[in-house]
Every structure is written in structure tokens, then in C-alpha cells.
Amino acid sequence: MRKLLLSTLAAAGALAAAAPAMAQDAAAEQAPFTGFRAEGLVGYDNLSDGSGQDSGSSSGVVYGGAVGYDFQAGGVVIGIEGEITGATTDTRADGLLVAGDRLRVNAGRDLYAGARIGFLASPQTLIYAKGGYTNARVETIYTSGATRVETGDNLDGFRVGAGIEYAVGPNLYLKGEYRYSNYSSVDGFDIDVDRHQAVAGICFRF
């Protein structure tokens, strides 16, 4: 009888210890898109100057990461997020002013902060739209003989986009996203620079 009582108490204790974890797992299954998340991103980047006949366009690879927090209420997900990326996108031109000179414009880091709203297409699939503020760094290098001039400018603008996420487990999901950014100001001067990106991500939710 004593052994039976001890066994029963031990089982009850193990069940009580496991209950919070079981409840957490059940909550994650019911709302898989709730909580903090961290993402790794890579994809296509295109930067263009929309200024008529003198416009130019350059493409490269965008890479970086993002963090955010989402709240799922039924079939609706609302969240906030921040992102930092870099890119291989650049533009090069030779012989602009004198023979042998070179101009190189590099797309530097890009910061983004915004919000998103999504709807569940299935229990594991989220379709969402997003929007917010973006600040991109552009670095310019001009060389002519022994002369080298480097400058950096911060471009201010907005970003909108849309994407899809698929939960492959309670904490892991994959995503694909398209976003468009427009930069309309640099150091107080008006500009018109467009940016198109298509990225894929692997993401972990805490």
C-alpha cells in the first residue's frame, strides 16, 4: 500500500511539473503566430533612380535579419518588427569627368521599422501586408589618379510589402516576401529613388 501511495504521488508530481510545458505547447498549436520572432533573410535587391532620361538601375543580393513580435487573435495576426540588412548592389562608371576616373556608388545598410497585419489562410499559413519607415545608407567613392573622395548619405523613405509564412513546427517557419521602398529625402533634399526586393527567410519564434 505504501509503495502504491508513493508511486501515485510521484506520478502526480511529474504531471504537475509537465503541465505548464503542455499548456504552452497547446497554446502554440492554437496560435502558432504569436510571440517574439527572429529571422534570417536573403534575396534579390534592385535600386533605381526614377529621374527621367538620366535614371539608372542596379541589382544585387540583399541579406540580413529581423526581429518582431506578433499577437494572434483568432484568424488575425497583428505585429511590429524591425530589420537591418546590407546589399551587394552597386553602380560603377568610368571616365565621367576625365579619362581614367571612376565613380562607384554602393548600397549600404538599410534600417526598417514598421507594423504588419495578416490573416490565416490555413492553421499553418499566414498571408500578411506590412508598412513602415526605412532609412538606407548610400556610399559614394570617386577616384581620379591619386585623388580619392568618399561620401555617405542617408536616404529617408517608406516601405510597403506583402508576404506569406508557413509554420513547419511549433517554433520554426519559412517565409517569402516582396517589398517596395521609396526614398524621397536625403539630408533635407528631395529625391526619387525606388527599391524593389524579393526575399526568403527562415525564422524562429520564441
Written as nine digits, the cell of 197 is 526586393
* CB atoms near residue 41 (< 10 Å): 20
Q: Residue 23 carries which side chain, given as an amino acid letter? A: A
- In the chain, domain spans: 1-30, 34-205
What are the cell numbers at 84? 537591418
Whether residue 41 contacts residue 200, with contact meaning beta carbons closer than 8 Å, is answered with: yes
Nearest to 173 by CA among 149, 200, 198: 200
Cα 95-152-66 angle, rounded to 5 deg: 120
Q: pLDDT per position in the chain (206 positions), as tens?
A: 444 333 433 444 444 444 444 334 444 456 789 999 999 999 999 988 755 445 578 899 999 999 999 999 989 999 999 999 999 998 776 766 677 777 777 888 999 999 999 999 999 999 999 999 999 998 878 777 777 877 778 899 999 999 999 999 889 999 999 999 999 877 677 778 899 999 999 999 98
pLDDT of residue 112: 98
CA distance 130 to 79: 9
Fold observed for domain 34-205: Porin (2.40.160)
Determine the Cα–Cα distance for residues 78 and 195; give it in Å rounded to an integer.
Answer: 25
